[in-house]
Each structure stands twice: as structure tokens, then as C-alpha cells.
Amino acid sequence: VTVGERIRVVAGAGSADYDVVIGEGLLARVGEFAAAAAPKARAAAVISDSNVAPLYGPQVVAAMEGALGRASLHDFPAGEANKNRERWIALTDALLEEGLGRDTIVVALGGGVTGDLAGFVAATFLRGVPVVQVPTSLVAMIDASVGGKTGVDAPAGKNLVGAFHPPVVVLADPACLATLPRSERSQGLAEAVKHGAILDAEYMAELRERAEDLLSGEPYASRWAVRRSVELKAGVVSRDERESGLREILNFGHTLGHAIEAESRFEIPHGSAVAVGMVLEARIGEAMGVTASGTADRLAEALRAMELPTELPSGMDPDRVLGWTGADKKARGGEVRYVQIAAVGSVHRDRNWARPVAPDLVREVLATGSALS
């Protein structure tokens, strides 16, 4: 068993800093890492969905039981549709009925939905118990498990209810990625490309070169991308405490991405929607003269290499997509804001990390797929 990397994340807001540990074979060692990160824990509740629980549940429960003496598995039906308050209630009540108390540690074993839902259970159980994030999908390893955001969806929109509740440790075992379907890895790579687009041009170029290895789940390439993406995201999250609002740059591609996702009634998966969103938001930036010309095309090329879409699906109504940006929660309490890149690898900043854009320009770019500048 080799533990390859440890990346420190500054949690801020009174929470303890934590490590993201990346390495093959970590699933078997979840117990020792959890016990070290939460020394007061005496019982574990492993929360996992119906896809992941049969694959890794018994191994992780055994590891936690070995370390703490007591562990149980709580599963729920897979899918974003289950990331809701009703499922949160059912999981919380299952833990309470088991008699679990303040000395419990929650282990979130799975993809982004599991991390958000189990994290919110931990955030609110007896006013908060520690959580270990054990991401098993590429997008969860690369993005979702770092930063401390937890929560569930409401009828009015995604992620509208939740809490900041940083994990005590994140354990990413790239060996899990080999069993994923190719299309799931492709989805996760959208966020990796985003990290390159906002922070590291070289990373984006190398992602493109190694696209085939990444899409096929080749272990060295996977581990490399997880490590670099976590480094980049951890850097942003850690600096956010000092540079208030820096974290907002992680929303690049997401203003339109969320709208496209919603307009498709979530038939277009998150990664694909964000891929299209990044290209269109870059085109908006080019039209406004804040983004170097040719940037959107470079981005589109990298995303196509990851087998991701780069244009609005034909037949999707630009006005309806624009309407959804108003419903996007970032719009709550004011104007719709866009993160814009100056070029691949750097975000444009004036007073803020994001700014409003004239709705007419957004509509035009949505309608034509390219800006008239």
C-alpha cells in the first residue's frame, strides 16, 4: 500500500485544516486515517448509494470497525433525485435509531451526491459530527470532496439548502476509477479542464495530450490529474479566507452550465453542461474584449478531446436558458454574475472576480454560438 500524496487544505471559518490523501489501496486504510483525524470518534456510520455500497461498502465498514470497534452501513438509492431533504431525514433517523451519538464519525463513500448528502447529515447530526470524505468518482475526487460544501436540493433548485462542513480528511483512491464507465470519467474531466482554464494553461494542455489515458482510467494518468486538480482547488479554497470571494472563480462555466442543466431537466449531465457553459462564457468574454480572442476555441478543443460537448444542443431555446440563469441561486439577491477568463490559465479581475453581463449579449451568444464582435 502506497500513499502517494497529501495536500493540505485550509478550512477557514473556525474549522480545522484537513488533508486530501491520494493513493492506491486507501480504501482498506480508511479506518486508521479516520481515527487519526477524529480521535474522539468511537463509532462510524458509512453512508453510500446503491451503486457504490455493494462494491466498497463491506471493505470500508470492516476498516472502520477494525479501527473504532463499531461501524454500520447506511445506503440510499443512487441518483441526484435522492439528494433531497426527505433522504436526509431518513438517514438521520436511521443513525438516531441505531443509538449513535456525538462520538460518531460519518464516512461519505461515493460520488458527489453522496458527499453532499452524507456531509449534510454529518453537519446537522446532534448539531454536527465529523465527516470523512471518501470520493469514488472522478468528479468527486477532483472537485466535490474538497471545500466543505454540503447540502441537498429543493424543489426551487439544486443545492439551495445546506451547510459549510469541512471534512476531517479526504481519502481518494484512484483504483476506484478503473471500474467507472468511460462516460463518467469524461464528465469528471470537465472540472479538470476548468481548473486548467482558470489557473494553469500548462495543465490544460497536458490534460489534452493525455486525454485517451484519462478517459480509459489508466492509473498513473488518473492519479496525476486528481493530484493536480486537488492542488489547484485546495489552493483556491485555502486562499479564499484572505482573498474574500476568490472561491467564486470556481464558478467559471457554471452560470450557463447550471441553466443548460436545468433547461434539459437534468438530462444533460453536469460535466457536459459545464463544458458547453465554459465555451459560451468564453465567447461572451471575447465579445466583451476581456477574453483573448481564440480562447473559446482552445477550450472547445480540449473539451472535445475529453469527449464533451461544446455547443448548445440544437433545439434548446436561448431565451429559456437565459431565463434559468435568473433562477440560478447565484442570481439570488441581485444580478446574474459571470466569471470571465483573460486567457486560458488566468481569470480576468476588475473590482470583483465576477461581474454582470448584459442579457442581450448572453442571448446573442446563446443564439449564434459565437459572438458578433
Positions in the binding site for a second copy (CB under 8 A): 12-15, 42-43, 85, 89, 92-93, 96-97, 99-104, 123-128, 149, 151, 154-157, 159-164, 329, 331-334
**Catalytic annotation, pick one of 158, 195, 208, 247:** 247
Question: Which residue out of 184, 191, 248, 286 is catalytically annotated?
Answer: 191
Q: How far apart are CB 247 and a second copy at their closest, in Å?
A: 12
In terms of C-beta density within 10 A (0-12 exposed, 13-18 middle, 19 or more buried), how is residue 284 classed?
A: buried
Please list, in sequence order, all residues whose beta carbon lies within 8 angstroms of the beta carbon of residue 260, skipping any fewer than 6 positions away: 268, 273, 276, 277, 312, 316, 321, 324
Residue with cell 476506484: 176
Question: Contact at 8 Å (CB) between 48 and 114?
Answer: yes
Catalytic member of 251, 261, 263, 337 = 251
> CA–CA separation, 110 vs 136, rounded Å?
5
φ/ψ of residue 47, rounded to 5 = -110, 130
Tell me how far, at minimum, the Cβ of 356 lies from a second copy, in Å. 14
Nearer to a second copy, 126 or 205 (CB): 126
Q: How far is the CB of 327 from a second copy (least distance, A)?
A: 9
Q: How far is the CB of 202 from a second copy (least distance, A)?
A: 33
CB of 34 to a second copy, least distance (A): 16
Annotated catalytic residue: which of 29, 83, 158, 270? 270
For a second copy, give the closer residue by CB, 72 or 124. 124
The amino acid at residue 69 is: G
N- to C-terminal Cα distance for the chain?
55
Q: Which of 97, 127, 265, 351 is catalytic?
A: 127
User: Closest CB to a second copy among 223 and 254?
Assistant: 254
Catalytic residue among 233, 298, 330, 337: 233
Element (H, E) at 203: helix 201-209
Residue 21 is which amino acid?
V
Asked about 254 being catalytic, the answer comes back as: yes
In whole angstroms, the minimum distance from the beta carbon of 175 to a second copy comes to 32
- Cβ-based nearer residue to a second copy, 168 or 211: 168
Residue 149 annotated as catalytic: yes
Residue 270 bears catalytic tag: yes
- Using the structure block, give the residue that is written with the C-alpha cell 478543443: 301
The answer to whether residue 243 is catalytic is yes
Distance CA 344, CA 341 (A): 7
Of 165 and 228, CB closest to a second copy = 165
465529523: which residue's cell? Answer: 130
Q: Is position 348 annotated as part of the catalytic site?
A: no
Residue 195 is a catalytic residue:
no
Q: Which is nearer to a second copy, 159 or 370 (CB)?
A: 159
> For residue 84, what is the DSSP state?
B
Q: How far apart are CA 322 and CA 366, in angstroms?
A: 8
Query: What amino acid positions are annotated as catalytic residues?
Result: 127, 149, 191, 233, 243, 247, 251, 254, 258, 270
